[in-house]
Structures are given as C-alpha cells and as structure tokens.
Structure 1
Amino acid sequence: MIKMKYVVFGMLALIMLGIGNSMFTHKAMGSSGKAAEHEGVIEPTQELMKDIEKRLTNMLSGILENNLKYVANEAGAVVDQSYKISEFFFPFDPKKNEWFERAGIDPKDAGKITKLREEFALFQSGIVYKALNVRKMAMEGSQEETLKAFADLIEKTCFACHKKNRDWLFDQPGSHGPGR
C-alpha cells in the first residue's frame, strides 16, 4: 500500500512538471539571468534548417522504402534550400542584414563579409554537388548507391558545416542538442 502511494505521488509530480514545462517553454534565460519572452518569434534560418532536416529525413525514409523517385525529388528540394540559406545570410545589401548585427559583424567590413561568403560558398557548392549525386543515384535506381551518396552528403557537407559554424552552440541551452 505504501508503494502505491509513492507511485501515485510520483506520477502526480511528473504530470505537474510536464504541465509546468509546457506552459513556460516560450521563456529563454538570457545572459543576465532574466527570462526573455520569445512568443511568436520565427527565426527564418531555424525554420529553413528544420525544413532541410525534414527533407533529409524524407530522403532516408525513401531510401529505406526503396522509393527512389521520392528521394530524387527531395534531393532536388535540398538543392533549392541551399540557395535560400545563402539568400538569408548574404542578402544583396549587407547593410540591411540583421544576421550580421546579431553575430557582431560590422556590415561595413566588406573584407570579413567577403571571406564569410566565400567560406559559405564552399559549403553550398558541396551541398549542391552531393545532393545532385544523391539524385543521380536515385534516378539510376540503385538503393545501395543512393544510401552511400546520402551518407556522403551528411558526412562531408552537413557535419563539416555544423562543426565549423555551430559546434560552439552545443554548450548553450536551446534547441541545438539531442531530444530538442
């Protein structure tokens, strides 16, 4: 009977924690320790990355189901999304780029912006080349070769870009780690 009371009490505590967590997920702790509201804010880059993540998941599912026409379509969409990333980070007028301001980059520093653009162009060309290779393998109808090309896309472009541009984020709270 005592064990049953502990089980019921534990379940109630977990339910209350879950409700509390779901009610306050829109608050983020700032560096000063104060909570800042983020209701209704949609980060374009975060949404774009979620879309690319969804496309990659669809590609893997298509490969495992041997639906290679679907994989080819999704690979083409990843190519399109890679160009959108470039448009977000490097618009035509760098002085109006809010991402430079948030990253602490002076929009007037043409040298630094050019260097960043060139670095990203390498990653973007890798994404395009590898995604088109996945598309080519899928169109040829080889499930194993398509899987190898997909793994190559993830290893050589996604991981390389994230390692260079995003690894420092993993030690911060947010939606960057496992189980987000």
Structure 2
Amino acid sequence: MLLSGASNLVLLDEPTNDLDVATLGAVEEMLLDFAGAAIIVTHDRWFLDRVATSILAFEGDGRVVRHHGNYSDYLERLAETEAAPEPQPAARAAPAAAKTAAPAAKRGLNYSEKRELEGILGKIEAAEGEVQELEAKLGDPTVYSAGKDQVADLVRKLDAARQRAAALVTRWEELEQRSAGAGA
C-alpha cells in the first residue's frame, strides 16, 4: 500500500555498486530532478558530489551532524575546522598527525581513482556544456514569458550544474596532485 502511491522520499543503499555508467547517469539525473528527499548511503564520493545537498556525518564521538552542501563542501568545512587554532595541549599532538598525513598524500591513486581520473575530463566538459546550455536558455527572453516557475527551475538547475562543474574541477585537481605526488 505504501509504495503504490506517490512518494516524496527515496532510500538508496550503495546505489552505485553494480551500475554501468549509463544507468548511473540516469539515476543521478532522476535524483537531481526529484522534488522530494533522498536518503543515500554510499561510499562513492563522486556520486555524493553530484547529488547531495546535505551530508549526515557520523562523528567519532557517536554524534550525527548535518552539513549543508555536497561532499566537497563538507570536506572544505572539515578542513577549516581542523585548521582552526586548537588549545595548547592539542597543538603538541599536531606534529605526529602531520607525519601520518604526509604518506597519505604521496601514496598515489588506487584503481578506482585512476579510472575516475581517466574519465573526469570528459565529465568536466559535459558539466561545463550543461552550464553553457542553461545559461543560453536563461539568456532567451521568451523563457521569461513562460512564468516564474520555469525561470526559477532553470536558475536552480544552473546553480546545481555550476556546483557540479566546480566539484569536478576540484576533484580533478586533487587526483592530478596526488598522481603527480606519487610519481615524485
């Protein structure tokens, strides 16, 4: 009975595990166009960057904290929090943390990250093309006579497309840096 009617909630558990690229793209587009809420459990950072508008992070002390934005936004806020000055006793432990972080930056890319790097430029190009397409639509004066809902929808899609493109570029830079660091 519950599933026979219209729904405004989707629950997905590791949706990217066994999907081919075309199906994954269709799932992403469905989620981006979905007007309701989606609760997604995944280890796929790329997927989170594409579809997430907020992150529920399970903190080490057992708390669950909601962070607005996609996965890249969450990582930026996390880095800002960690970079903030800490009390003096914690500052003494910082050199040990720096020693353990250095090998991680030099460790290179794993198999899935190498595959991601191979295809990311095409995805960046597609995302930037989507931004240009939406900007062109918003530049057409006739779109404004169709009503404010259509304009608002286009603006929302443009903002999301810009965020996706920026997240892709950031991810590409990160992968390139790690790939180059491993070869040095």
Quickly name the TM-score band, shorter chain normalised: under 0.3
**What's the TM-score once normalised by structure 2's chain length?**
0.24
**What's the TM-score once normalised by structure 1's chain length?**
0.24
Larger radius of gyration: 1
Structure ranking higher in strand proportion: 2
